[in-house]
Structure 1
Amino acid sequence: MKLFTVGPTQMRQEILDVRHQQVPYFRTTEFSKIMLDSDRLMKKFMNAPESYKSIYLTASGTGALEATIMNCMNENDHALIINGGTFGQRFVDLCKLHEIPYTEIKLDNNEELTGEHFLKVDNDNYTFVIANIDETSTAQLYDINLLKSFAKKHNAYLVIDAISSFLIDPYDMAGNNIDVTILSSQKGLCIAPGLSPVVISERLYEERVKHNNIKNLYFDFNQYIKNFLRGQTPFTPAVGVCYEMNKALHLIEAEGYENYLTRIDSVAKDFREKIKDLPISIPEFTLSNAVTPIRFEKPIAREVFSILKDKYDIFVNPTGGENEDYVLRIAHIGDTNVEDNTMLVELLKKVIEELA
């Protein structure tokens, strides 16, 4: 099996070696040291000061999105949401559910987020600006300068879902005045699903989270922050995934953070170069290095996906909605390289010819 998927990803052997070990008991000083060590590296790579608060949820990324809204926002807020696809819509759905007033910038397929979009909604007071910095369903990488400038103008908190961008594209939490960074283990960390870290700025913690009294036991950030002072979580964490996280972060540190990002960038660029002669196209807007959406000229995407899976044991990401017959998404993270790109592109060419 070979995964060219954005999550779960093709895991490195070093991570698989950790995964195959006995999961240890976790209410120990040894486990606490592992968690605090992971948190140190996580904050180092995202440029988050030590004073920023970390929450490690045993949940999917959507659980972390919802927990963030519950702990940081209330009905007196007004959020600006960038809705450019499936995951932007998820923020909209969550704000509706929790009765948080919002305005959305709704992007059409292949529409790039620009400063013009912000001018059209710059007639109200906002307390939060919310975006998936890489809208994974389209692979568009939003311009962080547009987001942080608008948030600063309104003195709003900036919430970034970086699940499929952190440890893939350059990311600077403090430098870009980001108040919340939301992550999930199966994407940029390239480990198993089940763990979703959230990092909160000191400003947001002191002004909102610290004084918030939400009616929820499991997702109460204050309990996680209190327990993490000793490197623990209030409830049983995904212990095995926590050990995988520590190993993954140390592998990145050993390679060098900049070298790690450069390698992913080179794999993404190599794939995009190699598909130029195929009867497919890719969007013109800025893409994350995480994934390349390829659009076929004919409605064969689902057939290509099935043939790759069933005949060659190769998995790529399908796309839902109106694009499901035309678009597949090819990930460039995890244990893949330019040689794997060559193999995949040759298979894509073969399958397309078979379906012609």
Structure 2
Amino acid sequence: MRLFTVGPVEMFDEIKKVRADENSVPYFRTQEFSDLMLDTDGLLKKFAKTSVSSQTIYLTASGTAAMEAAIQNCFTDSDKLLVINGGTFGQRFVDICEIHNIPHDVISVPYGETLSERHFVPFQNEKYTALLVNIDETSTGQLYDIGLISDFCKSRGMYLIVDAISSFLCDQFDMDKYGIDAMIASSQKGACISPGLSMVILSERLVQERVLTNHFASLYFNFKSYIENFKRGQTPFTPAVGICIELNAALHMIDRIGLDNHLKHIADVAADFRKKAEDLPVHIPDFPLSNAITPIIFDEPIAFKVFELLKNKYGIFVNPTGGALHEKALRIAHIGQTDVDDNTMLISYLKKAIEEIREV
């Protein structure tokens, strides 16, 4: 099996060894585990480029749970939010607002359009508490302009909540520079480890002004309890202990090679794939793309057939696409233990799959 998916990804051998060495998951209410979590937290904040006064919430849950928990802990029906919706995960923020009866407006970014200043014009005279954005809309691969979004929020005193689940540790990211008040990340994407752990880094401003003063009915997702418990390097409930150990190892691996070198490798692999894809009967959208993923649009409606053939016959996994692009688009990830030679292999199998489908 070979993964070119955006999560789970093809794990690094070093992390696979950590998994193999976990013959039994250790007991975690110990000083040793607390020290590991505090060490992890320092590296996570270093790579997010935020101050030590920020607070991290470690949830044994999916990225969607972290998105919902962040909204529940910070906003109520007395707020008004602005949501950028350019695909499946932008819509997920919209759905969360609707379920929790939080007033909101939506900046719609139809597929193929690049988010720009004109999308903000209809909302310039409205008052909003915060803006919610999936900085890399994973369903399309578009990487939004964080500078544009940040300037809009700063000029209006808005909180900025960023789902960076498929962008963090793949693209350049700077919480403090851009005034990001919450960054949501997940274990199985940029961290290149097992699914099951999500992290929400909260600015000191958001903690003091929102999290500590907001009251809502939840036991498991109440951030106040996580903040209090993490003073001693612990979570209030049982964490995904094995994945926490993987995360610590993965962050140390990135720190050892250097974050910039790590990001450059992903960018180089992405650029190499996009160049080699010119030999396929596909095109790549011209909106800005994350290093994490490349959407390829087929000239013929055969995308899902290609996905199934690669999976069932050759053991190669790429991301299919839902909705109107189901038969037209696949998404190729460049995260994890992947290099330009893997791109050459993948392109050859894509060519082979297309030829086989055309022969039927």
Short-chain TM bin: over 0.9
Q: Tell me the amino acid that sits aligned with residue 213 of structure 2.
A: H
Q: Report the Cα distance in structure 1 between the residues aligned to 2:337 and 2:106, rounded to whole angstroms.
A: 36
**Secondary structure of 1:293's aligned partner:** strand
RMSD after superposition: 0.7
Kindly state the Cα deviation for residue 349 of structure 1 after the two structures are TM-superposed: 1.1
**Secondary structure of 2:255's aligned partner:** helix
**Partner of residue 17, structure 1:** 17
Alignment of 1:96-115 (within 5 A): 96-115=98-117
Count of matched residue pairs: 356
Q: Which runs of 5+ in 2 are unaligned?
A: none
**Partner of residue 161, structure 1:** 163
**Secondary structure of 1:211's aligned partner:** coil
User: 2:286 matched to 1:261?
Assistant: no
**Partner of residue 343, structure 1:** 345
User: 2:321 matched to 1:319?
Assistant: yes
User: 2:292 matched to 1:295?
Assistant: no
Q: Tell me the amino acid that sits aligned with residue 346 of structure 2.
A: L
**Partner of residue 4, structure 2:** 4
Q: Report the Cα distance in structure 1 between the residues aligned to 2:56 and 2:280, rounded to whole angstroms.
A: 45
1:50 to 44, 49, 52: 52
Q: Tell me the amino acid that sits aligned with residue 54 of structure 1.
A: T
**Secondary structure of 1:289's aligned partner:** coil
Q: Report the Cα distance in structure 2 between the residues aligned to 1:270 and 1:188, rounded to whole angstroms.
A: 19
Q: Report the Cα distance in structure 2 between the residues aligned to 1:277 and 1:271, rounded to whole angstroms.
A: 10
**Partner of residue 65, structure 1:** 67
**Secondary structure of 2:318's aligned partner:** strand
Q: Report the Cα distance in structure 2 between the residues aligned to 1:154 and 1:74, rounded to whole angstroms.
A: 19
Kindly state the Cα deviation for residue 350 of structure 1 after the two structures are TM-superposed: 1.4
Q: Report the Cα distance in structure 1 between the residues aligned to 2:216 and 2:111, rounded to whole angstroms.
A: 37
Q: Tell me the amino acid that sits aligned with residue 248 of structure 1.
A: A
**Secondary structure of 1:285's aligned partner:** coil
Please say which of residues 114-123 and 89-98 is displaced more in the overlay: 114-123
User: 2:346 matched to 1:305?
Assistant: no
Q: Report the Cα distance in structure 1 between the residues aligned to 2:155 and 2:50, rounded to whole angstroms.
A: 22
Alignment of 1:219-258 (within 5 A): 219-258=221-260
Q: Report the Cα distance in structure 1 between the residues aligned to 2:180 and 2:204, rounded to whole angstroms.
A: 11
**Partner of residue 137, structure 1:** 139
Q: Report the Cα distance in structure 2 between the residues aligned to 1:343 and 1:88, rounded to whole angstroms.
A: 33
Q: Report the Cα distance in structure 2 between the residues aligned to 1:324 and 1:84, rounded to whole angstroms.
A: 16
Query: Residue deviations 1:299-319, cap 9 Å, x none?
Result: 101110011001110000000
User: 2:178 matched to 1:176?
Assistant: yes
**Secondary structure of 1:34's aligned partner:** helix
Q: Report the Cα distance in structure 1 between the residues aligned to 2:111 and 2:182, rounded to whole angstroms.
A: 27
Q: Report the Cα distance in structure 2 between the residues aligned to 1:128 and 1:139, rounded to whole angstroms.
A: 24
**Secondary structure of 2:127's aligned partner:** coil
Q: Report the Cα distance in structure 1 between the residues aligned to 2:98 and 2:228, rounded to whole angstroms.
A: 30
2:273 to 262, 266, 271: 271
Kindly state the Cα deviation for residue 7 of structure 1 after the two structures are TM-superposed: 0.3
Q: Report the Cα distance in structure 1 between the residues aligned to 2:222 and 2:204, rounded to whole angstroms.
A: 17
Q: Report the Cα distance in structure 2 between the residues aligned to 1:62 and 1:142, rounded to whole angstroms.
A: 19
Kindly state the Cα deviation for residue 135 of structure 1 after the two structures are TM-superposed: 0.2
Q: Report the Cα distance in structure 2 between the residues aligned to 1:123 and 1:92, rounded to whole angstroms.
A: 21
Q: Which runs of 5+ in 1 are unaligned?
A: none
User: 2:200 matched to 1:198?
Assistant: yes
Q: Report the Cα distance in structure 2 between the residues aligned to 1:351 and 1:214, rounded to whole angstroms.
A: 52
Q: Tell me the amino acid that sits aligned with residue 12 of structure 1.
A: F
Kindly state the Cα deviation for residue 85 of structure 1 after the two structures are TM-superposed: 0.2
Kindly state the Cα deviation for residue 123 of structure 1 after the two structures are TM-superposed: 2.0
Kindly state the Cα deviation for residue 240 of structure 1 after the two structures are TM-superposed: 0.3
Kindly state the Cα deviation for residue 271 of structure 1 after the two structures are TM-superposed: 0.1
Please say which of residues 144-153 and 233-242 is displaced more in the overlay: 144-153
Query: Residue deviations 1:64-101, cap 9 Å, x none?
Result: 00000100001111111000000000000000000111
Q: Tell me the amino acid that sits aligned with residue 13 of structure 1.
A: D
**TM-score of the two chains, using structure 1 as the length reference:** 0.99
Q: Report the Cα distance in structure 1 between the residues aligned to 2:91 and 2:333, rounded to whole angstroms.
A: 22
Q: Report the Cα distance in structure 2 between the residues aligned to 1:140 and 1:43, rounded to whole angstroms.
A: 25
Query: Residue deviations 1:216-250, cap 9 Å, x none?
Result: 00000000000000000000000000000000000
1:26 to 15, 22, 28: 28
**Secondary structure of 2:266's aligned partner:** helix
Give runs of ≥4 in structure 1 deviating > 2 Å. none
**TM-score of the two chains, using structure 2 as the length reference:** 0.98
Q: Tell me the amino acid that sits aligned with residue 34 of structure 1.
A: L
Q: Tell me the amino acid that sits aligned with residue 161 of structure 1.
A: D
Q: Tell me the amino acid that sits aligned with residue 247 of structure 2.
A: M
Kindly state the Cα deviation for residue 355 of structure 1 after the two structures are TM-superposed: 1.9
Query: Residue deviations 1:32-52, cap 9 Å, x none?
Result: 010000000000011110000
